[in-house]
Amino acid sequence: MRFVRNILETVFLITAALFVVVPTVRLVLGPLSGWSVSPRASAWALLFSPGTVAILWRNLLLAVVVTAVACIVGTLLAAGLARIRPQQLLWIVPLILAPLLADQLARNYGWYFLLRRDGIINWVAARLAIPGNPFQMLYRLDTVALAIFQGLFPLAVLPVFLFLSQKEARLKTVGMIFGAGWLTIARSVMLPLLVPSILLAVCFIFTASFGYFITPRMLGGDAGLTIAGLIDQRINLILDWSGATALAGVLVIACLPFFLLFLYTFAKLEPVSGFSGVPIISGTRAGWLLRLVILGTIFLLVVSPLLPVAFASFTKSSSLSFPPDGASARWYWKVLTDSDWLRSWCISIAVASISASVTSLLSLGSLAFASRGRFAATVSLMVGALPLMLPPIALAVGLYRTMVGIGLSNEWARLVAGHVLRGLPFPVLSLLLAWKSIDPAMLKAASIYGSDRIWSYWKSLGPHFAPALIIGFLLSWLTSFADLEYALFLSGPNTITLPIRMWGALSYSAEPSVAACAILTTIIGTVLLFMLVRIVASNSRLFTSQ
């Protein structure tokens, strides 16, 4: 067991050094040689130019609004979820993860169909004769924030939910004993305790949304100008790498406070004493009205942009539109029979499975390493969280340089490494979060087994870590499956993944094959998730009810 532990740790540390730290350092200090059209000095001029500064403010505003929306809605929904019967949760958890499966570009089209001037919402508003219609809903800060939030929904809900589900029952009981009403319990007991996990969600959401540019650009109009968009402009319009790197530095610096806050909050997380470890989700059932509201909200959030896309995918015509022209399954036929598309399906599934397995293995290494002490824990955490903080394109370039530099230029290896990098935060953070929530008494009890720290307690603590590992695996599988940014840069001629294929079809002519593919991936993925959650639940007593 100790041998395995050492191997895992070593693999984790080597991988972390090679694929996370080196690319980042190279990126920041890196050889900016021979890359730029403009001289280095103009990179500074670019940073402090009025345009960049103005866009930075807009970008910050957008990220703050997204974060605020995510915090409020996410916490409320998580609070609601923690009070729903475990059997129903089995249905809901896959639904929460589903938005990650549908292609981001296809979802953007869904929002466009819903929100445009002649769109679905305005059509309904006109039928109901709501005064003021048609509403101008696109190209506004609030709607683009909503669309970004929808894509980050799982990140907003899961940390709070995981934390809450463990505390809810006990605390509520304590509160009830003292005769407090639910509002008092929520305000004076739950909220202060929830602050750390909400802060974690804030860090995730802020840093993730700050680097978004495709959704803001498509739906945001003037409110959608972003630093990441400027980076794209520098790289693709004038091939100015030093300017792009400087702008990436701005992104990193803006996210730095959140990174530090994240490390601090994480270090301060209090273990829950008296936690039994096994029944993660338990507690009282919510009333039917509350359940209806929670489920309804989640359903609306998840499904609303996908429904119009689903309708549009059955069009006869060769461009995506709503309402669709006629009905046919020709685009489904194409996506499922065309040899290029088929190959992409296989590649995407293979790459996602390999990279998610590797990330899970590495995350076990990170857990083992973290248990060595305070400093080691911080290192694990930083490595785990770093990829979330940096713009994907910048990190992808850093990774590419490093891998080609050490001779690992095989396209499969590159793509898998990229997706490992991208997916690593999820299992690492969820495992570390689970570690944080272990009762010290539990550790003591486990130490009776006679060896050191966490790793060798797998027998006793396994059930505690299994759900976190599975959630981490799922999230990294899904991010790999849906990833476009890393794949565009790291894939080679034989590793064209599904998102690249979809991107190609959409950017040239808005081909409905993309809608068909997005719907297929969502349906297949959701079904698989349902099955997986069921298997996990029956195996690990994850969702045992009291």
Closest by CA position to 101, among listed 537, 488, 479, 536: 479
Site for another protein in 74-93 (CB under 8 A): none
Closest by CA position to 210, among listed 57, 43, 20: 57
My answer on whether omega of the bond before 134 falls inside 30° of 0, hence cis, is yes
407 binds another protein (CB under 8 A): yes
- Helix extents (H) in 131-213: 141-177, 182-184, 191-210
Interface pick for another protein out of 54, 72, 329, 527 (rule CB under 8 A): 54
Residue 253 · residue 244 · CB < 8 Å: no
Looking at beta carbons only, is 173 or 544 nearer to another protein?
Answer: 544
123 binds another protein (CB under 8 A): no
Looking at beta carbons only, is 40 or 117 nearer to another protein?
Answer: 117
Binding piece for another protein, criterion CB under 8 A, among 43-51, 145-153, 426-434, 519-527: 43-51
User: Helix axis angle, 392-405 relative to 241-268, nearest 10°?
Assistant: 100
Interface pick for another protein out of 188, 273, 318, 545 (rule CB under 8 A): 318
Q: What number of other Cβ atoms are within 10 A of residue 546's Cβ?
A: 9
Q: How far apart are CA 396 and CA 491, in angstroms?
A: 11
Largest distance between two CA atoms of the chain: 73
531 binds another protein (CB under 8 A): no
**Coil, helix or strand at residue 18:** helix
435 binds another protein (CB under 8 A): no
Interface pick for another protein out of 488, 523, 528, 532 (rule CB under 8 A): 488
346 binds another protein (CB under 8 A): no
118 binds another protein (CB under 8 A): yes
11 binds another protein (CB under 8 A): yes
Q: How far apart are CA 28 and CA 320, in angstroms?
A: 41
Binding piece for another protein, criterion CB under 8 A, among 80-88, 260-268, 313-321, 378-386: 313-321
- Helix extents (H) in 178-287: 182-184, 191-210, 214-219, 227-237, 241-268
Binding piece for another protein, criterion CB under 8 A, among 39-47, 64-72, 89-97, 434-442: 39-47
Placement of tokens 């949760």 in the chain: 89
Binding piece for another protein, criterion CB under 8 A, among 41-49, 87-95, 154-162, 295-303: 41-49
Size of the site for another protein (CB under 8 A): 91
Q: How far apart are CA 117 and CA 199, in angstroms?
A: 37
Site for another protein in 464-483 (CB under 8 A): 466
Looking at beta carbons only, is 188 or 539 nearer to another protein?
Answer: 539
For the bound state, the minimum distance from the C-beta of residue 392 to another protein, rounded and expressed in Å, comes to 12
223 binds another protein (CB under 8 A): yes
Looking at beta carbons only, is 87 or 507 nearer to another protein?
Answer: 507
